[in-house]
Amino acid sequence: MLVGSPALADRCPAPEGGNAALAQIDAEERIEFLHHRLDEQARYGRSWRWWWFGIGSVILTTSVGITIGWAAASPSPVQNANVVDNLIAAGFSVAVPVTSALLALRVESDAPAIDELLRVTGGGRAGVCLVLARVEELAARDAADEALNTGWLAQLAGFVGVGAIAGIMAIEAATTSDPSVRDVHWINAAVNAAAGIVLAEAHILSAPTGASRAYEGYLKGQLRPPSRPTISLALGTGLSLRVSW
């Protein structure tokens, strides 16, 4: 008679803020969950960053092109006003491609660091609790980074930038005595403010949040995605509809 016994699971303590149920989950399963989620977010983060580099470059090129077009037009006070306003808009629009190219999300470097850590520890089996603690540390850092990039400070920074563009144009409008030039500055201020808010919100709303959401669920011991209802149709003696979770 052969008697099999299940392998003992590795149990490691939960990190600060973690649910007691988390400590009862096998350590390798916890490592795999965080490893997989951070790899996903690193890929998305790189794509998101370079997409916005492209979008910012198009906006900058368009602003410069419009400025050149106004500068080539017949000289007039209105033309000069449009040249100045478009130079201001172009100057501020440089920030999007430059920051996208230079400022990478933490998860982009932390995910490869975890890959290397698992490689040198045999998938985390050598010192599993120490490996898990390091993976949790990086996951918590990445979650905090995402929360910062999509929180109220990011919103405030966006509004300050847009407000600066519109404010400069508004000051120009308030300090000119030519009604036609004043109207041009006010119109440019309104258009740039509206477009700037839309772009700033799109940038924030499209930013990666998966590491933050995954770590929040991880601390609760939720290592599997919530089940989704599925609907299927079966055709046999009759047509039946089945909904399952």
Residue 107's nearest CA partner among 145, 147, 153 is 145
Q: Which tens digit of pLDDT belongs to each residue from 186-227?
A: 999 999 999 999 999 999 999 999 999 999 999 999 887 544
Asked whether residue 114 is domain-assigned, the answer is yes
SS3 243: strand
Asked whether residue 14 is domain-assigned, the answer is no
Burial of 46 (0-12, 13-18, 19+ CB in 10 A): middle
| Structural domain span for residue 178 | 20-244
Asked whether residue 13 is domain-assigned, the answer is no
Q: Which tens digit of pLDDT belongs to each residue from 76-131?
A: 888 888 889 888 888 888 888 888 888 889 999 999 999 999 999 988 888 899 99
Asked whether residue 67 is domain-assigned, the answer is yes
Q: Which tens digit of pLDDT belongs to each residue from 29-45?
A: 999 999 999 999 999 99
